Amino acid sequence: AQSVSQHNHHVILSEAASLELGCNYSYGGTVNLFWYVQYPGQHLQLLLKYFSGDPLVKGIKGFEAEFIKSKFSFNLRKPSVQWSDTAEYFCAVSDSWGKLQFGAGTQVVVTP
Amino acid sequence: SAVISQKPSRDICQRGTSLTIQCQVDSQVTMMFWYRQQPGQSLTLIATANQGSEATYESGFVIDKFPISRPNLTFSTLTVSNMSPEDSSIYLCSVGNPEKLFFGSGTQLSVL
């Protein structure tokens, strides 16, 4: 069975600070990895995804994530956050059918 | 791409009643997934619905509580039975393959 662990439940940082959210997964097969974002009062949006190839994945809004197979990790980064990045971030892994297993989520608050 | 129509978008229900949520897709899909997002929590997979067979439920979810129908390749329903306030959540359907996953807009359920 697949599982996803997100390291931080809450992160508070100032605008222009760098952000890194940790995500570790366990899954026996080929992994498909995702980061989703949920802004207050809104539905999930896909930030980025990794299936194969370059382990450094670029997503929307300046986010990127690095897949490190040896560490079973898929950490999300953004060099300089903005107030509008305040949201909840979910790491997820899917099996070959598209069944998603989500992490518990990290609430990110960016202060002006 | 797939367009998913999910109904109702929200409902307020009385304890002990049942609500059926519909998910209509504009193309044929093999598998459909039903998720729940309880307030302040991550998304949890309830079950996987295949056309022509019984749904496969995740640990902690049972057919008596969440019966699912999948009469054809474009439609599925999830019923939340004998509701209690703990069932207050957003319920989402999802379709697609790992490379492209689509979510319905969700059903916001409040149980009084």
- From first to last of its 112 residues, chain B has per-residue pLDDT tens of 778 999 999 999 999 999 999 999 999 998 899 999 998 888 999 999 988 888 999 999 999 999 999 999 999 999 999 999 999 999 999 998 777 788 888 999 999 9
Q: Using a CB–CB cutoff of 8 Å, tell me whether B33 touches chain A.
A: yes
Among A66, A103, A62, CA closest to A84:
A62
Write out pLDDT tens, residues A48-81: 999 889 999 999 999 999 999 999 999 999 999 9
Q: How far apart are CA A109 and CA A9, in angstroms?
A: 11
Q: How far apart are CA A65 and CA A86, in angstroms?
A: 18
Residue numbers in A near B94 (CB within 8 A): 98, 100
Q: Using a CB–CB cutoff of 8 Å, tell me whether A106 touches chain B.
A: no
Answer whether A46's CB lies under 8 Å from A91's CB: no
Please tell me which residue of chain A has the smallest CA distance to B48: A99
